[in-house]
Amino acid sequence: MIFRQLFDSTSGTYTYLIASRHGGEALIIDPVLDRVDRYIQLVRELDLRLVKAVDTHLHADHITGLGALRDRTHCVTVMGERSNVDVVSMRLAEGDKLTIEGVALDVLYTPGHTDDSYSFLMQDRVFTGDTLLIRGTGRTDFQNGNPYAQYESIFNKLLRLPDETMVFPAHDYKGETVSTIGEEKLFNPRLQVKSVDEYVELMNNLKLPNPKLMDVAVPANMHIGLAQEEIARRGWSLSACEAMALKGCADVVFVDLRERAEREKHGVIPGSLHAPYCDLATHIGSGGMLHELALTTGKRIVFYCAFGERSAMAVQAAQDAGIASAMHVAGGIDAWKRSDGPLVR
């Protein structure tokens, strides 16, 4: 297991880089925009391939590195389904798994600090975002924060994990790096309360100033979707309705880039092929399934994914690989569903 805890001293943010092996896939949790060069350098130094960049919630104190990492490494951006962000490649909910090669994290919905706060559990450790901090808890006074919800998330979810579970938060301002659930139960001053009402009273009287960057960070973090104008301008983009009109055409093949769990949860365009985005390079390269399909049979490839981001990146990559007919469904399955497109499970 490769595990790195990285620190942004300006915002006091911890960022985590995880992979199962050298030479394998990696994911990064809560990257900071100003540190993206360092992350990319470290990924290269450790001989990793960054495939997912994840935020635990929409941050108010720093600008996320998700968009920049996606643009520079073509990784998949991931946030929770409740996050008020324009576009991410993949959205997760309680009970889902966040996976890369050799690693699977359980997704826990832990609202309270914000209404889009998620924690990620990886065997002996949990990434708690700003829900549970070391000897503290995330403030609940903005971004639809709610101390009642936070009490529930902490006492009825996180503190029910085994005592020895390591706690890795998104922030620390005092130089602490890691704690455990058992330690926090005993020594976290915010958790030494007798009732939810006592906790709410405590949280409602913190009187903290707003984060310095809040007015900049929140709007920036709400608009991180991939710029797709160029893809559309080149005629490589189909609306869901235009794509529906092509369904059944003998020379058109729909290609689903999502992961198996997303397909099972949200359904599949009938008759489509499955080629997960993480394997795209193999499929569109010389001798690959999609390369052969397009070039030897003359089929037109129409990529789709969850929200249109992976498919937009796939179109560009396929065009670069010589598959001139490649297009994608703008807005992905989300747009397809809203246009009442047929789905099978």
* Sites of contact with Fe ion (CB under 5 A): 130
Cα 330 from Cα 296, distance rounded (Å): 26
Angle between helices 66-73 and 36-45 in degrees, nearest 10: 50
| Shortest Å distance, C-beta 113 to Fe ion | 6
Long-range contacts of 248-252 (CB under 8 A, 24+ apart): 249/300, 251/298, 251/299, 251/300, 252/299, 252/300, 252/302
Cα 287 from Cα 289, distance rounded (Å): 7
Q: Measured between alpha carbons, how far is residue 221 from residues 29, 60, 63, 148 in Å?
A: 15, 8, 6, 25
Residue 8 or 130: which CB sits closer to Fe ion? 130
| Shortest Å distance, C-beta 9 to Fe ion | 17
| Shortest Å distance, C-beta 39 to Fe ion | 19
Residue 18 or 217: which CB sits closer to Fe ion? 217
Residue 208 or 250: which CB sits closer to Fe ion? 208
| Shortest Å distance, C-beta 38 to Fe ion | 21
Residue 188 or 311: which CB sits closer to Fe ion? 188
Residue 150 or 316: which CB sits closer to Fe ion? 150
Q: Measured between alpha carbons, how far is residue 316 from residues 100, 111, 230, 281, 320 in Å?
A: 23, 37, 10, 12, 6
| Shortest Å distance, C-beta 118 to Fe ion | 12
Shortest Cβ contact with Fe ion: which residue? 130
Residue type, 24: G
